[in-house]
Chains A and B, each alone.
Chain A
Amino acid sequence: MKVRDLVPWGRRKNADHAPALRFRGGRDHRQDRERPLDLFQDEMNDVFERFFRRFDAPSFDRFGGLFGGVPQPLVDVSETDKEIKIVVDLPGLDEDDIDVSVTGNLLTVRGERREERDEDERGFVVHERTIGTFYRSIPLPPGIDPDKAKAEFKRGVLKVRIPKTADAAGHTKRIEVKAA
């Protein structure tokens, strides 16, 4: 940890230098497992950031102001020995509004949430929900078979399940270390 990191101001501005998955408050559990001390440090950082964020930019709302206003739905990735599951929150959309594709090791979800209001309902008191097009790419781990991906959309939640390939499923290769 550098001394500079102790100064909380402006740290969020460097967020784009963070590893690909460490943004928008998400937590990469693979790192947690490998480096438990980082988990503690992250938690402390979160406490500081939550406090100082109030003074920093006016509003980094959940649908990332960091990304030039392109709405970013919340994403969750988990796995079993046989498959991985990507869950994306897309409340208020219909399945026809959502486009899911896999290119290389990137899963891309894009779509549009339309405003469904009549003209006479426009007197907004509170407006927190995001409308418009959104776009989110999620890096996929190696050893999966995107051709067999299945997606379902239910109650405003998109679930994509991708099976792992036979090679990757359930076995980790251990490498023996020999004394030289």
Chain B
Amino acid sequence: MSADLVRQDREENVTRLDDHRSVPVYRPDTDIYDDGDRVIIEADLPGCSVDDIDITLENGVLTIKSQQPRQSRSGWRPIYTEYGEGRFERSFALTDDIDQDKIDASVRNGVLRLELHRSESTKPRRISISAK
């Protein structure tokens, strides 16, 4: 299932579509791990608060977006820059075994943590055999 969980796009940190957008869109670095009952997604969104982050789930695709541009330099002259002014965005295609009604999200120190729970019905079950 792991391969299905994320649409892999490892080559660039900037979403390729950004050529067609007015604001550059950056793909946050993300860890995903799986402890059996849950899948945890942790994404680096430096500078973002709870209010800045928009999480949507549509047709099994979970999308993380930051509302605010990455950084506003108004009033400041750039001397040296490594990241541009832009937004974060990344999508994950969820597999069917994730319970879409039970997703917990929290933000701490610029890291978004999503806990996705496996739905009860798809957990592996042991079927007991009764001797006759």
A interacts with B: yes
User: Looking at the complex, which of B34-42, B55-63, B98-106, B121-129 is the stretch in contact with chain A?
Assistant: B34-42
A156 close to B110 (CB less than 8 A)? yes
- B82→A76 contact, CB < 8 A: yes
Task: Decide: B6 and A78 in contact? CB cutoff 8 A.
Answer: no
Q: Are A28 and B80 in contact (CB under 8 A)?
A: yes
Q: Is the CB of A76 within 8 A of B110?
A: no
Cross-chain contact of B76 among A21, A50, A80, A94 (Cβ < 8 A): A80
Q: Chain A residues near B75 (CB, 8 Å)?
A: 80
Number of residues in A with C-beta < 8 Å to the partner? 43
Asked if A4 is at the interface of the complex by the 8 Å CB criterion, the answer is no
Task: Pick the contact of B80: A26, A129, A130, A156 (CB < 8 A).
Answer: A26
Q: Which of B12, B13, B73, B78 has the most CB of A within 10 A?
A: B78
Of the candidates B5, B30, B40, B77, the one whose C-beta lies within 8 Å of that of A129 is B30
B residues lining the A interface (CB < 8 Å): 2, 5-6, 11-13, 29-36, 39-40, 42, 44-49, 71, 73, 75-83, 108-111
Since A24-B82, A76-B83 are in contact, a sample of 4 more A-B pairs with Cβ atoms closer than 8 Å, ordered by chain A residue number, is A27-B82, A62-B13, A77-B80, A128-B29
